[in-house]
Every structure is written in structure tokens, then in C-alpha cells.
Structure 1
Amino acid sequence: MKLTKNILMALFVGACTLSGAVSAESGSFVAGEHYQIISPKESEEPIVEEFFNYACGACYSMEKVISEIKNENPTVKFKIIPLELRPSWKVYVKAYYIGEKLGVLDKSHEKIFRRIHVEKRHFKNDDDLKDFFVSLGVDAKAYDDVAKSYWLNTQLRLSKQYAMNAKVIGTPTLIVNKRYKLDNKKLGSGERIKQAVKELSGSNNIVKVTEQPKQ
């Protein structure tokens, strides 16, 4: 009888150990450590927002992870928000919105990243930026209409305002479902970032851990 109890206890301990291993493997993310809760409630539809800037080296390195997040989560909406963290970055915020408005983002996005981080050629001024878009086949007048528009100035203002409200102070920053702001450094790797996006967006049906950190 005693032997049977010992065997049952060993099986129980083994099962608990295996369960813990599976749980750790599936990924568990904690508020206050791996992400911050920035809103009392999340969006109705799953969405990932990336705050970035073309001049940001870490953003360029993150591009592969971002591409994989998009491909692996087809039901999740993805939105990019260019952010001006310093005066010299403003031209790159313009570059994103101008490319988006003129419908050439599929060409301009990758080429701008490559120009800055591979070719080491930064945009000197607005004229330099205009020459770049014209080289992509954009009509010069169409470029001027967007570059000098009220719409562009509004986008610049709104991106700053939204970043301030979300307490975004660095790039790249990912916010999931308008509620969960990821801490890339604490997550530690692209794979962990992708798993956190899946878990917090609900795209892999894992229950979110939203407990606030203890004070």
C-alpha cells in the first residue's frame, strides 16, 4: 500500500512538472513586466500599432519581426505610426505619410530604410525628399500638393499627440489592442515579441494575463 502511494505521488509530481513546462513553453506574459496597461479597456477588433521612425536603427532591425507578425496574424489589423522624437526625424515622419497618401508606400517604405541604414544616405532637407519621391515616378506637382497640405500637418500633430497619450517615449514601440504596450527589452527576442502579440491580441485564443503589477 505504501509503495502504491509512493508511485502515485511520483506520478503526480511528474505531471505537475510537465504541466509547468508546457505552460512556460506556451508563453505567459505579465502586466508591469512584459507590457504596460495604458487603457482601461481594449479595442473591439484586434489591432497592433507600431510607433517607428526611418532614422531609428532598432526599427530597421525590427522590420523582419514586423513582417512576420503581419503574416502570422492575418485577422489582426496593423497600423504604423511614424514618430518624431527629435527635430531631425521630422522629415522621416513626412516621408511615411507622403508615401502613404501618394499610394507608393509599397515602394518607398523599404527603399527609405535601405537608403538610411545600408547606403548611409540621410535626407538633407525637404527638397532631397521630393527628389526621392520623384525618382519613384511620383508627379512633382502631386508631391507638392501633399507636402504642403493641411492634411499632412494634421497627421504630424496627431501622431505626436497619440504618442504622448500612450506614453510612448521610444521606438520601436508596439501597442496591442490599444491597451497593451509591449516592453521589447523585457521580452528579449523577436520570437517572444511575436508570441506576446498573439497572446494579447487574442489571435491564438490564449487567455490574457492583465493583472496589474503590485505596488
Structure 2
Amino acid sequence: MIKKFLVSILVIAGFLSCQVQAADAFKEGVNYKVIAQTATPHKEIREFFSFWCGHCYSLQPMFNQIEKRFENEATFERNPINLMGGNMGVESQKALAVAQLLKIDDLYVETLFKQMHVDGNIPSSHDDFVRLFESLGVPAQTFESDYNSFPVLGKVSTWDKLTDDYKLDAVPEVVINGKYLTIMESVDTQGEFIDLIAYLLTLN
């Protein structure tokens, strides 16, 4: 379930590419796949990931750069999947939805990834997430009241539906405008991946 691709894309090379390659530089079936008939009504970059995925953790600096690079052109959406981590994978999804409601999702993502992949502290119960949020300044009562709220359950349902609709069974994956699945193995550098995203954002 962990998607493997060229190690070179994991290297943060510094400056992001600001120039979009010519349209004929990227080919359907080579650099991207069409996975839906219609695009989203707004430009969107959606990152499918799991907190249990080591590659996803390694790529977070790049995805943070991508979010900043396109902040005035497209929305950047995190889409955690439920394919890894068992029940704790679902817990991590719901906790992210709570963090988004509380507008601390960047902090939550950074903290949980570090806890798991640097500190080796893997959540094994619901209470572990309660304590994590308490460490972020969120009282247990606040977390619990939001945890099973309709907005949280609806968000998780949407994430799961998109994962199923796009027939994704590996992470990380990036879908542009709800229609184009990037083939991350087809590029060698971060700059090329940025250019691919920029190109796909121009398509209908």
C-alpha cells in the first residue's frame, strides 16, 4: 500500500520551478492518468496519504512547498486514507478532521508524523489521540465533543468515498482537479513534479 518511486523526488532541491513546461512535455498515460470524466468546479491539489506511510512522511516538506507554491491558484487538500493502520488509521482520519475544525491541522499533521516516524511512538488507542490533542492545547472534552460530530463524520466519509471512487490502493498519490492522477514515478526531480502539477491545473 506504500507507493514507491524514484528516491530523487524525495530530495528537496531548494528553489521550486516557476516555469511550466510546454504542453507536449507531459503525456497522458505516461505522466498522468485520467480517472474521472469531469473536473472539480475549482482548481484543487489533493494529497492522498497515510500517517503509517514512511514515504508520505518523507515527502511532507515537498508537499508543504507545493501548497505554498500554488496557494493563489488552487486549494490544497489533505486526504488521509483508511487502508493502513487498521482501527488507528480511522482514528487518525477522524482526528485530522477534528484538527481541521479547530484550525490546527498543520500542527496536528506535523506532530503526529514526528511522533510516529521520528520518536517511534505509534498510537494504539483512542486515548493516545486524546492525549496528543491535549499536548496541542485542546482539552479532552473539546476533542471528544467534536470527534463524533456530523462535520467530522462527513469529512471522513468524503475522504473514503474519494479514495474508493479513484480506485486508489497505494500512497502517496496526488490528484489534480479531481480528474488527473499524477504518475509520480514518471518524473525525476521536485521541479519536474511541480511543473506537472502546474500543467494539469490548466486542463479542464
TM-score, normalising length: structure 2: 0.80
- The residue that corresponds to 2:21 in the other structure is 26
Distance in 1 separating the partners of 2:107 and 2:40: 30
1:36 matched to 2:33? yes
Q: SS state of the match for residue 80, structure 1?
A: strand
The Cα of 1:43 is off from its aligned counterpart by 2.8
1:71 matched to 2:68? yes
Corresponding letter in the other structure for 2:128: D
CA contact (8 A) 1:91 1:123 kept: no
- The residue that corresponds to 2:99 in the other structure is 99
CA contact (8 A) 2:98 2:152 kept: yes
The Cα of 1:34 is off from its aligned counterpart by 1.2
Distance in 2 separating the partners of 1:69 and 1:85: 24
Q: How does 1:5-16 map to 2 (within 5 A)?
A: none
- The residue that corresponds to 1:174 in the other structure is 174
Corresponding letter in the other structure for 1:50: E
- The residue that corresponds to 1:139 in the other structure is 139
Q: Percent identity?
A: 21
- The residue that corresponds to 2:3 in the other structure is none
Distance in 1 separating the partners of 2:191 and 2:168: 22
Corresponding letter in the other structure for 1:186: S
| Alignment length (residue pairs) | 180
- The residue that corresponds to 2:56 in the other structure is 59
CA contact (8 A) 1:42 1:178 kept: yes
The CA RMSD measured in Å over matched residues stands at: 2.0
Q: SS state of the match for residue 32, structure 1?
A: coil
More helix by share: 1
The Cα of 1:26 is off from its aligned counterpart by 2.9
Distance 1:129 1:67, change over 3 A: same
- The residue that corresponds to 1:193 in the other structure is 193
CA contact (8 A) 1:60 1:117 kept: yes
CA contact (8 A) 2:44 2:75 kept: yes
Distance in 2 separating the partners of 1:168 and 1:179: 13
- The residue that corresponds to 2:164 in the other structure is 164
TM-score, normalising length: structure 1: 0.76
Corresponding letter in the other structure for 1:153: L
Distance 1:44 1:151, change over 3 A: closer
The Cα of 1:152 is off from its aligned counterpart by 2.7
Q: For the pair shown, which has the larger CA radius of gyration, 1 or 2?
A: 1
Task: Give per-residue Cα distances to partners, 1:30-54, cap 9 Å, x unaligned.
Answer: 1111111012232343211111121
The Cα of 1:122 is off from its aligned counterpart by 0.8
CA contact (8 A) 1:65 1:194 kept: no
| Runs of 4+ that moved beyond 4 A | none
Distance in 2 separating the partners of 1:72 and 1:59: 19
The Cα of 1:150 is off from its aligned counterpart by 3.7
The Cα of 1:198 is off from its aligned counterpart by 0.7
Structure of greater relative contact order (alpha carbons < 8 Å, 6+ residues apart): 2
Q: SS state of the match for residue 49, structure 1?
A: strand
Structure 2: gaps spanning 5 or more residues: 1-19
